[in-house]
Amino acid sequence: MNKEGNTSKKENGNLDFQDSHKKAFPFGIYVHWPFCLSKCPYCDFFSRVKKDINQDELISKYLDDLTYYAQTIGNRNVSSVFFGGGTPSLISPQNIEKIIEHIAKLFTLSDNAEISLEANPNTQKPHLFSDLKKSGINRLSLGVQSLDDNELKFLGRTHSANQALQALEEICSLFDNTSADLIYALPDQNADLWQQNLERLLKFPLKHLSLYQLTIEENTAFAKKKISPLADDEAASFYSLANQIASAKGYQQYEVSNYAQKGFACRHNLLYWQGDDYLGIGQGAHGRLSLSSGIYAQSFPRLLEKLTPQERAEELVIMGLRLTSGINKKHFYDCCQIKFDDFINQKHLAELKQQNLLQEDSQNLKATQQGFLVLNYLIEKLCS
C-alpha cells in the first residue's frame, strides 16, 4: 500500500469523491474516544485507562480534524454519526453537542441522521442519559454484557446486574432507538444461564441487540491467563438458542451477531458491512473513502493509504458475508470496480454451495446459518 497523507491533494486543493459515492451512497462519521476507567480482560480494541484527561483540549483536536477532512474531501450527506470507544459516555454531553454541531456546520447532516453513542450502565452521573439526549444523541447502545453478577465479575465489568437493569429501564424511557450488548459462551456457562440472561434483557422494549460470542484475542488479559472459551459445539448451540429466542420476540437477525426490530438495524454499522464510505475521527479510528484518485484507508493522524481494487474487494467479502442478506454483486462492483464473479474462486464457491454453507442467486451471495459458524473458512476459500 502507498501512504498518501497530505501530499495526495489534487491541484485544486481537494480530493473529490467519486460522483457515484458522493451522490448515491450513505456516509458516516465514527468518533472514537479511546479512554476507559478500567480495561476489560477480553477487550482487544484500542483503549487506554487514564483519568486525568484534558477533555476540552482533546475535543478541540477532534474539531480540527473534522475541519481538515471537510476541507480535503468536500461536503457529504452524513447519514450516521457513531460515538464509540473506549468509553464514549465519559465525554461530557456539552462536548458531544460541540462535535455534532461542528459536523452539521461542515457537512450536510441528514434530518433523520442516526446519532449513536455507546455507554456503560454505571455512569456515576445521575442525569447523564437525559443530558446525552439533549446533546443530540438519538440512539443509545448499552454495554450490559451479562445480567449475572458472577459473570460480570469474570468479565471485569465494573457494574452490577441491578445497575444494568436500572440503566436499561432509564434508556428505554428516554430513547426511541435503544440497543444492548450481551456476551455468551463464557467458560463453564450453561444454556440455562444464557437463556435467563437473554430473556431478562428482552423484557425491555429494546429495538436492537448485539450478541457476541466470547473470543480470546491475542495480547488480552484473558489470553495471558490462558483462559479458554466454551467448546465450539456448545457455543454453536448457544448461538442457535439466541436466534430462536430473539426471533420469537420479533427481532430479525441481519448480521451474524446483530438483531433488530423492523426498521432498526444499525445504519452506521451497515456502512462497514456493505462497503460504504465513512470517516474516522480519534486516535483509534479509521475510515474508508472513495476518492476520484482511488479507494483509501483513512487513519490517525490524517493519513490516507491507497488500497488496490483487489484489497478493497477482499475487505468487501470479509465484511459482506457477515450480513444475512450477504454480498450484493452490483454494489460490490460499485465499491471496488471488480466484477464479483471474476474475483471469487469459482471452484471453491461451487464446493461451498454443495456443502450448504453458501447460497447464491443472480444478485447476491450469502452464508447459510451453517455457514455463519465457519465464516473465516468461507472467506479464506472464496478469496484464495
Cα(271)–Cα(269) distance, integer angstroms: 5
Name the percent of the chain lying above pLDDT 90: 79
pLDDT of 7 strictly over 80? no
pLDDT of 86 strictly over 80? yes
Check: CB of residue 181 under 8 Å from CB of residue 210: yes
Would you state the pLDDT for residue 47? 63
What domains, with CATH codes, occur in the chain?
A: 2-270 (3.20.20.70), 309-384 (1.10.10.920)
Residue reference for cell 444461564: 193
Using pLDDT thresholds of 50, 70 and 90, give the confidence band for residue 48: low
Q: What is the mean pLDDT of the chain?
A: 91
Q: What is the mean pLDDT of residues 19-39?
A: 78
Element (H, E) at 281: strand 277-281
Q: What is the mean pLDDT of residues 354-382?
A: 97
* Of 30-44, 51-65, 176-190, highest mean pLDDT: 176-190
Q: What is the mean pLDDT of residues 61-79?
A: 95
Burial (Cβ within 10 Å: 0-12, 13-18, ≥19) of residue 183? buried
Phi-psi region of 381 (alpha: psi -120 to 50; beta: other; left: phi over 0): alpha
Q: What is the mean pLDDT of residues 25-29?
A: 90
Would you state the pLDDT for residue 26? 85
